[in-house]
Amino acid sequence: MDGHVDIERMDMRDDTWDLDFSTASGRIRFSEHGFSADELNVGFGGSLGALSIAVGDYTSGNQHLAEASLRGRFPASTLISQNARSRWIDAWVEGESDWTLQLTVPREDGAAPKLRVRSDLVGTSITLPAPLRKDVAERLPLDLQLPLPPESGELDMRLGRLLRLHGRADAGGGFNGVASFGDVPDDTAVPMRGLHIAGQIPVLDAAAWGAVASGGTDEAALYVASADVFAGELNLLDRRFHETRLTMQRSDTQVELGVEGAMLDGTVLIPLEGLMQKGITARFQRLHWPESPESEIHGEAEEAPGISPALIPPLHLESLDTRFSGAQLGNVWLESWPTADGLHVERLDAHSEVLDLKAKGDWRRGTQGDHSEISLDYSSRDAGAMLGALGFSRLIDGGATHGQLRLRWPDAPGAFEWAVADGELSVHVGQGRVLEVEPGAGRLFGLLSLTEIPRRLSLDFSDFFKSGFAFNQMAGRFNIERGNAITDDFQIDAPSAQILLRGRTGLAARDYEQTMEVLPKAGSVLPAIGAIAAGPAGAAVGAVAQAVLRQPLKDMTRTIYRVTGPWSDPVIEVVEKGGE
Phi, psi of 101 (to 5 degrees): -115, 130
Question: CB within 8 A of 236, min separation 6: which ones?
Answer: 206, 207
Q: How far is CA 358 from the centre of its chain?
A: 24
Question: Do residues 175 and 189 touch, judged by C-beta distance below 8 A?
Answer: no
Q: Alpha-carbon distance 551 to 538, whole Å?
A: 20
Strands 19-31 and 2-14: antiparallel
Cα separations (Å) of 347 from 52, 175, 316, 366? 69, 43, 10, 23
Question: Do residues 21 and 53 touch, judged by C-beta distance below 8 A?
Answer: no
Q: Is pTM beyond 0.85 here? A: no
Phi, psi of 251 (to 5 degrees): -115, -170
According to DSSP H, which parts of 337-422 are helical?
383-389
Phi, psi of 63 (to 5 degrees): -75, -10
Phi/psi zone of residue 537: left (φ > 0), alpha (ψ -120 to 50 degrees), beta? alpha
Name which of 98, 143, 94, 93 is nearest 118 in CA terms: 143
pLDDT at 194: 87
Cα separations (Å) of 301 from 293, 306, 413, 415, 421? 9, 15, 14, 10, 19
Radius of gyration of the chain (CA): 37
Q: Alpha-carbon distance 64 to 102, whole Å?
A: 13
Question: CB within 8 A of 544, min separation 6: which ones?
Answer: none
Q: Alpha-carbon distance 503 to 460, whole Å?
A: 22
Q: Is 303 helix (H, G, I), strand (E, B) or coil?
A: coil
Strands 264-271 and 254-260: antiparallel
CB atoms closer than 10 angstroms to residue 135: 10
Q: Alpha-carbon distance 451 to 435, whole Å?
A: 8
Three-state SS across 355-388? CEEEEEEEEEEECCEEEEEEEEEEEECCHHHHHH
Q: Alpha-carbon distance 478 to 426, whole Å?
A: 6
Q: Is 69 helix (H, G, I), strand (E, B) or coil?
A: strand
Q: Which residues of 410-427 are buried (b: 16+ CB within 10 A; e: fewer)?
A: ebbbeeeebeebbbebeb
Tell me the per-residue pLDDT of 149-163, one tens digit each, with 9 for 90 and over.
888 889 999 999 999
Name which of 161, 162, 64 is nearest 116 in CA terms: 64
Enumerate residue ranges in the chain where pLDDT < 70.
84-85, 186-187, 211, 213-222, 292-306, 437-444, 451, 456-468, 522-557, 578-580
pLDDT at 391: 87
Q: Is 423 helix (H, G, I), strand (E, B) or coil?
A: strand
